[in-house]
Amino acid sequence: MKKWVYFFGEGDTKDKALLGGKGANLGEMTKIGLPVPPGFTITTEACIEFYKQGKKWAPGLESQIEENIKKLEAKTGKRFGDSENPLLVSVRSGAKISMPGMMDTVLNLGLNDQTVQIMARKTGDERFAYDSYRRFIQMFGDVVLGVEHSGFEKILDNTKKAKGVHYDTELSADDWKNVIEQFKKLVDREKGVKFPDDPKKQLRMSIDAVFSSWNNKRAIAYRKLNNIPDDLGTAVNVQVMVFGNMGNDSATGVGFTRNPATGEKEHYGEYLINAQGEDVVAGIRTPKHIDEMKKELPKSYQELIKIYSVLEKHYRDMQDFEFTIEKGKLYMLQTRTGKRTAQSAVKIAVDMVDEGLIDRKEAVLRIEPGQLDQLLHKQLDPKAKEKAEIIGKGLPASPGAAVGKAVFTADDAAMRASEKVILVRTETSPEDIEGMHAAQGILTARGGMTSHAAVVARGMGKCCVAGCSDITVDEDAKEFKAGGVVIKEGDWITLDGGKGEVMKGQMPLVEPSMTGDFGTLMKWADEFRKLGVWTNADTPHDAEFARKFGAEGIGLCRTEHMFFEGERIKAVREMILADDKEGREKALAKLLPYQRGDFRGILKAMKGLPVTIRLLDPPLHEFLPKEEKDIKELARDMGISVERLQEKIDSLHEFNPMLGFRGCRLGIVYPEINEMQVQAIFEAACELKKDGVDVKPEVMIPVLGHVNEMKVMKELVNNKAKEVMKKKGTKVSYHVGVMMELPRACLTADKIAEYAEFFSFGTNDLTQTTFGFSRDDAGKFINEYIERNVLERDPFQVLDRDGVGQLVKTAVKKGRKTRPELKIGICGEHGGEPSSVEFCHEAGLTYVSCSPFRVPIARLAAAQAALKHGKK
């Protein structure tokens, strides 16, 4: 017979999967001699079996529960439904991973019209007994029978009103008796059942309810949100009741072994005299700081202080625990690893290493890399949050907070930058780049987590709320509507990019605090990691910024953004509209000095480190205007007819620009464009080298699918580089490589590697082509897919290992077969996402490249991957 039930102490934290977090910890605490009220845990396996059997108990479960109840009865001398010494228990769910969305707790189980009288007699406190009883009916009714909470509350309110009192504590035993009668009637009326008297039936129903709660909507939603698998099941903990509400020598409270907000090593916690746990949580009475217990309950306080240190020494991590004092006796009801802010997490990890509690590896493994984001951006002042008037909610597209005056065009943003502005658009396009740079934050009404606005904002480390469908932007009228609120140009708004919230007015922000501990932790991480961490940066400013965050190179320097700035766009358009190569070259000659300047700046900023410059990527039509009035203006500027311009625009139109005439396809058909870029790169590099700056340019060919493209492009780069170096009379070492972003490139990586000197996976586009998902359009169904479990995660956020990952691994294997020392990186959005970084480590990549603000996250994730999977 399988063991379905464990008495506390039979198992410990090793058995977390089987006993759930709570059960395992109660077992563990019992084992190490902490004062835990006795109890037992029904395993998660029993829950899984419950579902397998069509919501029936596993064979043997009933008898094992029976046995364990007998043990409990033996241990306490109490018996279920006993007329002298009735046993009361709590029933709690407890999954492997803590899930606040699930069924909570049933307390005081075992009470009925008989046992309540004995309880009243034995405690000499009738009021307490009936209060406990009504609490039990209320909880059981709510969480087991599914009676609306509000029904009970209403009865309670009416009773208090009738008695003219404000607090529950002001009600008498008789009042409670009356309330109990009404509660039972409510249950009968609502659910058509008599409230069960038999404690064993109560227990049985509660266990069923806990099992069933595993698949209630809240729980499913919580799991979805937190990526918890659906097949783990929950354990059920049945534990003897202790009472914190047995008078002023009783209390209940929660504690943290260190400060969860700051990480300070101090006795953190709070308690309530004469109360049950739910009173603390409910927040009706204001609990006191744990230190006040020293005076109020000195003996228990001393015990508790000892427990603080026992817990930390035993668990070697900050603990969050619950306790109850029943008539002066302290009981531990729960302990678990405490949640903490990023700041606190870092401080605790570093301190614990100093204290010798954990080693550096453990410290590094303990921080959730994604959490570091909190440390890297301005945040809304938490103190002011209550005052926020939230007028819309969109996607948390790029973290941090921003305050500024609303503006509705990129030009306005650029012009009014000094006033602090927030750029509000229906959606952004490459033409808005300058305005996005100038703005404090970006708000769009359309687009997903990987829309243009979101991607660019994250790249800039700028706060962005995207796809905020609550707002309607009228760009002509320069205003947006959000519900009843109208925000006009110049009105202040505040964004919380971490939450996706849009607020009216000017909210106070706090600066990120990058403490010394953070630096220490990062240093440790660097000791362990194998993967290089590079950055995606298009400007010297971003490059410098990323170096401060520890970037070891630039993995992606996009050149197209550079084409939009100021006067350049005119030359770009002139080039596009030229009728022949000669005309294009004339226009390109105008662009050359700009590009040379760009590259000079970025190569200089990264001196000594590699800079991977991607040649022009987007289709040419992206550089032409779309709106009629802009077209008219451009035609006038260019001195051509609107018709001819429109014709040209039409001829460049593409049905699927993502799969269109872009990247190296442009480079092969119009080599002069890339030649200008290569010339600019090498002129800048040679000049810097002559100035004594160590430069490492890497030229990356985008949108490549065939070895012959690589052959042509490598020749183009080499020829131009040779020509420039000869003219400048100096030599610069460089590589020519490929952005691996098409399935065909991955599938034929062995051939491509004959020419390519490095690979860099562009996993954004690779995800688009592998799935056949357009990033710009997939918003219409991806959320629905995740909702319906068709996809577990958004593959644009977390690298899809089965499909895209398979291509990456194939390419790594084939590429290195041809060129064993091939340098291989990733420069898609995934390069800064911890689980994708882990994959990159496992796949044997050389480096990941991510936006500057994610560099520390990637460093930590890379270290964790190396610690988990060994150095590859």
Q: Which residues bind a second copy (CB under 8 A)?
A: 654-661, 665, 668-669, 703, 705-706, 708-709, 712, 741-744, 747-748, 751, 765, 768-774, 776-778, 780-781, 784-785, 788-791, 800, 802-804, 806-807
Please say whether the beta carbons of 145 and 210 come within 8 A. Answer: no
Per-residue burial over 276-314, b = 16 or more CB atoms within 10 Å of its CB, e = otherwise = bbebbeeeeeebbebeebeeebeebbebbbebbebbbeb
Output 51 or 661, the one with its CB closest to a second copy: 661
In angstroms, rounded to a whole number, what is the distance separating the alpha carbons of residues 591 and 263? 53
In angstroms, rounded to a whole number, what is the distance separating the alpha carbons of residues 354 and 723? 57
Output 85 or 469, the one with its CB closest to a second copy: 469
Among 827, 830, 841, 850, which one carries the catalytic annotation? 827
Find the shortest distance in angstroms from Cβ 659 to a second copy. 4
Find the shortest distance in angstroms from Cβ 716 to a second copy. 12
Find the shortest distance in angstroms from Cβ 810 to a second copy. 9
Find the shortest distance in angstroms from Cβ 661 to a second copy. 4
Output 749 or 861, the one with its CB closest to a second copy: 749
Find the shortest distance in angstroms from Cβ 791 to a second copy. 7
List 380's β-bridge partners, or say none.
Answer: 509
Angle at 607 between CA 821 and CA 595, to 5 degrees: 95
830 is catalytic: no
464 is catalytic: no
Spatial CA neighbour of 683 closest among 575, 595, 589: 595
Among 267, 437, 452, 561, which one carries the catalytic annotation? 452
Please say whether the beta carbons of 6 and 14 come within 8 A. Answer: no
What 3-state DSSP class applies to 332?
strand
Please say whether the beta carbons of 346 and 260 come within 8 A. Answer: no
List 488's β-bridge partners, or say none.
Answer: 479
Output 728 or 744, the one with its CB closest to a second copy: 744
> What is the gyration radius of the CA atoms in the chain, in angstroms?
33
In angstroms, rounded to a whole number, what is the distance separating the alpha carbons of residues 740 and 750? 12
Output 167 or 655, the one with its CB closest to a second copy: 655
Residues in Cβ contact with 395 at an 8 Å cutoff, skipping those fewer than 6 apart: 448, 449, 454, 465, 466, 467, 468, 500
In angstroms, rounded to a whole number, what is the distance separating the alpha carbons of residues 451 and 139? 46
Output 263 or 779, the one with its CB closest to a second copy: 779
Please say whether the beta carbons of 425 and 432 come within 8 A. Answer: yes
Find the shortest distance in angstroms from Cβ 169 to a second copy. 51
Output 93 or 769, the one with its CB closest to a second copy: 769
In angstroms, rounded to a whole number, what is the distance separating the alpha carbons of residues 579 and 573? 12
Find the shortest distance in angstroms from Cβ 193 to a second copy. 34
Please say whether the beta carbons of 54 and 20 come within 8 A. Answer: no
Find the shortest distance in angstroms from Cβ 658 to a second copy. 4
As a whole number of Å, the end-to-end CA separation of the chain is 44
94 to each of 19, 20, 51, 205, how far by Cα in Å?
8, 5, 17, 17
Output 477 or 790, the one with its CB closest to a second copy: 790
In angstroms, rounded to a whole number, what is the distance separating the alpha carbons of residues 672 and 660? 19
Please give the positions annotated as active site. Answer: 452, 827
